[in-house]
Amino acid sequence: MRIPDYGATEIINDTTVRIYEFGCTINPEYQNLMLIRTKLESITSDFDVFKETVTSSVPIGNKTSFNIIVKNNGTISLNNVTVYETEYEGLKFNSWKSNYSWTYKLVDDKPVWTLNRPLYVNETVTINVVFDTTELGNFTNVVIVGSNETGNKTTNNTTNVNNDTPKNPNNNTPENPSNDTPGNPNNNIPKNSNSNIQGNPKNSSVNNTVVYGKELPKTGNPLVLLLFSLACIPLYTRRRK
C-alpha cells in the first residue's frame, strides 16, 4: 500500500479539518508497520506562487524561459487551480510543458492553465513556459493564480533582452595558434642549442651525429683545386712510363 505524503485531510465542519500524517517502521518483530497520527486544525485555504527565471538575460532573437511554481500551504485541498499569463510585453509566447495534468486554452490571446485535479495540502506543481524575444530592453512577465477556495495572487519576474552575440560553443580555434607546422622536425630545435644532435650509443651502433651545413668547415676556392688537379695529370703520366 502506498502511503501518501500530502493531501490526507478530512473536513470535520465549516471550521475544522482533520489531518492524517503517515509513517512506517521496520523492526525484527514487525515489518512494514504503518503509523498513523491525526490532528485537528482550523481550516485555512492558502497557497504560494512565484516565478523562477531560468534565463534572466538573453540576446534578442533567442528564447527565454520561466518556471511558474504553485504550492498549497493551507490545510485543505484547492480545486480548479488556474494560472493566467496576463502580461509579457516584448515577448512572444512559444510553448509550455509540465509533469502535471493541466487544461490549456487561450483567453484574449493569453495562455491560461487549469489543474485537472485538486492541489493537495503541501503539494507543489510547476509549469515551464518559453517565450521568443522580439524587442530590446527589460520586460516584466506577470502571472495571476487563483482557485475555488482562495482569492487570486500575482507574481512577476523580469527578463533582460540585449544585443550581445552568444559565443559559438563549436568554435575550437585557439586564440593564439602556434606558427609551427606539424611534421617539420626543424621547428622543434631550440634557437640556442648545439647543431650536433647525438643519438643514444647504448641502443644503436650507428653514428647519429647530425652536422648542419652552417657548421661545415670551409674548403677554400673550388676553382683553384680544379686547376691544381689538371696540373698534376702530366706528372702522373710521366711516372707511369
27 vs 33: CA distance, rounded Å: 9
- Is the model more confident about 210 or about 114? 114
Nearest to 145 by CA among 53, 69, 82: 82
**Span 119-174, pLDDT tens digits:** 999 899 999 999 999 999 999 899 999 999 999 999 999 999 999 875 544 444 44
Residue with cell 497520527: 37
168 vs 165: CA distance, rounded Å: 9
Give the pTM. Answer: 0.59
**Span 168-197, pLDDT tens digits:** 444 444 444 444 444 444 444 444 444 443
What are the distances in angstroms from CA 43 to CA 46, 48, 52?
10, 17, 29
Contact (CB, 8 A) for 92 and 159: no
Contact (CB, 8 A) for 94 and 198: no
**Span 6-49, pLDDT tens digits:** 557 777 776 777 777 766 666 666 666 666 677 667 778 999 99
Structural domain boundaries in the chain: 9-42, 47-162
112 vs 103: CA distance, rounded Å: 8
67 vs 64: CA distance, rounded Å: 11
Contact (CB, 8 A) for 161 and 90: yes
Q: In terms of CATH, what superfamily is 47-162?
A: ntegrin, alpha v. Chain A, domain 4 (2.60.40.1530)
What pLDDT is stored for residue 194 in this prediction?
Answer: 46
What pLDDT is stored for residue 119 in this prediction?
Answer: 96
What pLDDT is stored for residue 43 in this prediction?
Answer: 79
Show the beta-strand stretches assigned E in 47-199: 47-53, 57-59, 63-72, 82-87, 91-97, 102-107, 110-115, 124-133, 137-147, 150-162
